Chains A and B, each alone.
Chain A
Amino acid sequence: MNGSLMRVYFDYNATTPLAPPVIEAVVRATHDLFGNPSSVHYFGQQAKALIDEARSAVATLLNGDPSEVVFTSGGTESDNFAIRGAAEALEPTGRRHLIASSIEHEAVLNTFKALARRGWRTTLLPVDQTGIIAPDRLREVISDDTAIVSIMHANNEIGTVQPVAELARLAHERGAIVHTDAVQSVGKIPVDVRALGIDLLSLSAHKFNGPKGAGALWIKRGTRMQPILTGGRHERNRRAGTENVPAIAGMGTAAALAGAKIAAEGARLGALRDRLEAGILKTVPGSAVNGALQPRVPNTSNISFDRVEAESLLIALDLEGIAVSTGSACSSGTLEPSHVLRAMGLPAHRTQNSLRFSLGLFSTDAEVDRVVETLPRLVEKLRGLTRKAG
């Protein structure tokens, strides 16, 4: 293929490149600090100190306490731990009802399905075309039988931010505990666990310029949990398994970096995203943004293109060096119709015709220009072929 292709990466919601200080931290930890944090000796202590630093950095980013941060292998494990661990701990209460939104990530949805198979009653809150859960929807279904309410903070596909604080208040009134999957909001917008008033929060390092293989579950002090990974006494008996020190070290550095510039970076990305969005809507007829424009994380834009198969446009863009995405991938690597867009009640053609553009740390104006220049031509070509094929 063309070696001089200018590649544009606009898929930060899928994963992010590591910030240079993060790479340094990972390399240093790999190279120099190989000890097992559980070991008593000097080597263990060095490694332990490193992950404690990282723990503090993550806690600071969330406005939580380091003792409330449990390291996991990533967002999916955190979601599993939050829901399964809390459900198991709450079994003695006799509550059997679980509530989540219909636009959650599959890590939450499939965990709910697994629990449903074990006799838990589950409800998914509907959402309208704004892509934002209305608190009334929760009021309608929550009861004294509800054990856990899980509502994501920011949606990974359309970027809308949910009213978690209000939903948490509602849930607590009925005695349910509240989990939020904040994988797509941490590092992009300020996330304050005290202000949100939640009990559990999931995050993942590789979404904020940290390495893959590290995440965390923030557990409010006093919340009853059963571990789902049982074994050694790591993470204060909450999550067994020797810690992934290099990845955790990277996560700590990434958390510190994100926290330091969240406002400035948010403004910068918001401007880039708005320019991209406006540019596309203006130059491509029959294009429209999916979901409310605010509140949204500053980096995401999900746009539908009439009379174009998202899959074809995705491939055409990739061949031009531009990387974006649509809904979640399935195991074979092809694209399923987005459950989020479907849940929002969008007509079928918009669920199959939508692409997600998500920007980040290394995104530039030049890249936005390139995408806005290229897209109309590709869309036109694909539409032309559909017309011919009839």
Chain B
Amino acid sequence: MSGGVDSSVAAALVVEQGHDVIGLSMQLYDQSDGERTFGSCCTLDDLHDARRVARTLGIPHYIVNLERQFDEHVVSNFVREYAAGRTPIPCARCNSDLKFSTLLTRARGFGADVVATGHYARLDRDPGTARHLLRRSLDPDKDQSYFLFSLSQDQLAHALFPVGDWSKDDVREYARRRGLLVADKPDSQEICFIPDHDYATFVATHSPEAARAHGEIIDTAGRVVGRHDGIHRFTVGQRKGLGLSRSPGGQPVYVLSLNPVEQQVIVGPKALLEKTTLTASEVNWMIAEPSGPLEVTAQIRHRHRPADATLTALGDRRAQLVFDAPQVAVTPGQAVVFYQEDVVVGGGWID
């Protein structure tokens, strides 16, 4: 229970369904310095809201201190990835390494069987193989299956997504009817631990190395066209913040790739941003790992229109994807999630 309307309604629904429910909120940051509200979610106010909702629902509520685990699994990973020239997705890590891992273990410790969350996603079983499957939510605009791609079979077996079948509007309406004070609370839009979207400052604060880093901006021919103060300030496809307006030819210039070893930002025209293939690591297979090529639609960012592609497992938890049409800004560190219809086939981290 984050204190938001989705997890509040999820809690209300499982109570309504007759389950024995305990509300848990995660404490992810040190709240003792009361002045600093760390980010947009899970602040003291949010924990307070979660507690109030639990009271309305008549369920016990506990706050579980996962500061250390959050720092280890989510924040440190985030900083390392940026420093290494990759663009991470902390929310996906939080799901697999915290919510459905540490939190699930804690919950089982006091007798719970399942963790229900306010995620927009749906669970299913494959009738043939009995494997647990993940599907997109009913509300296509809110679908969060992209962030849940790395859940294992065991984790899926102990998960529940009560609002997966609901539209956001219906969720808010239900919250109002049920008298939950968070019915009209705005959704948090940014990464929960980065206030004001300022990733660069966050990374520099947490990595003295990154703070000191600087290097050259070069074009594809290797010519130096500018300088930068750390590759962590950039992501593939970025246009702003380069300190250059156009290439000598007059075209707009984009980040094509980042070289952490040489601390270089490689820029070029938009055409070079398009890629047809990618490889992924740490692939999680929701279906049984396919032996041959598979036709899928693949999503390389949360807000990316899934594109047709052919997927081939390479073994060793790696996979290759060949898109039917070139895709813009294939970004190392992001997740690539493979779908068939609305079913998640699997996903991995883009190399």
Q: Which residues of A contact B (CB under 8 A)?
A: 1, 309, 311-312, 315-316, 318-319, 330-336, 381-382, 385-386, 389
Contacts and interface: CB of A to CB of B under 8 A. Distances in A.
Contacts of A389: 105
Provide the main secondary structure of the chain A interface: helix
B34 interface: yes
Contacts of A333: 47, 51, 63
A335 B65 contact: yes
Contact of A332 (B44, B59, B106, B111): B44
A311 B27 CA distance: 12
A385 B108 contact: yes
Nearest to A314: B62
A331 B36 CA distance: 13
9 contacts: A312-B106, A315-B64, A316-B110, A318-B62, A331-B31, A331-B32, A331-B34, A332-B31, A334-B63
B109 interface: yes
Interface in B1-51: 20, 22, 27, 31-32, 34, 44, 47, 51
Nearest to B51: A333
Contacts of B110: 312, 315-316, 319
Contacts of A335: 65
A382 B110 CA distance: 8
A319 B63 contact: no
Given A312-B106, A330-B31, A318 B44 contact: no
Q: Is the interface of B mostly helix, strand, loop or mixed?
A: mixed
Interface residues of B, number: 21
B34 A385 contact: no
A1 B61 CA distance: 12
Contact of B63 (A1, A332, A385, A386): A332
Interface of B: 20, 22, 27, 31-32, 34, 44, 47, 51, 59-60, 62-65, 105-106, 108-111
Given A315-B64, A331-B31, A331-B44, 9 more contacts: A1-B60, A309-B106, A311-B106, A312-B106, A331-B32, A332-B27, A332-B63, A333-B51, A334-B64
B120 to A, nearest CB: 27
Contact of A385 (B22, B62, B109): B109
A159 B65 CA distance: 26
A69 to B, nearest CB: 33
Contacts of B47: 332-333
A389 B64 CA distance: 18
A319 B32 CA distance: 27
Contacts of B51: 333
B152 to A, nearest CB: 13
The 9 A-B pairs with the shortest beta carbon distances in the complex, nearest first, are A334-B63, A316-B110, A334-B65, A312-B109, A334-B27, A332-B31, A382-B109, A315-B110, A333-B63
B227 to A, nearest CB: 42
A262 to B, nearest CB: 36
Contacts of B31: 330-332
Contacts of A332: 27, 31, 44, 47, 63
Contact of A316 (B32, B59, B105, B109): B109
B109 A330 contact: no
Contacts of A336: 32
Contacts of A1: 20, 59-60
Nearest to A1: B60
B105 A385 contact: yes
Contacts of A316: 109-111
Nearest to A308: B109
A1 B60 CA distance: 8
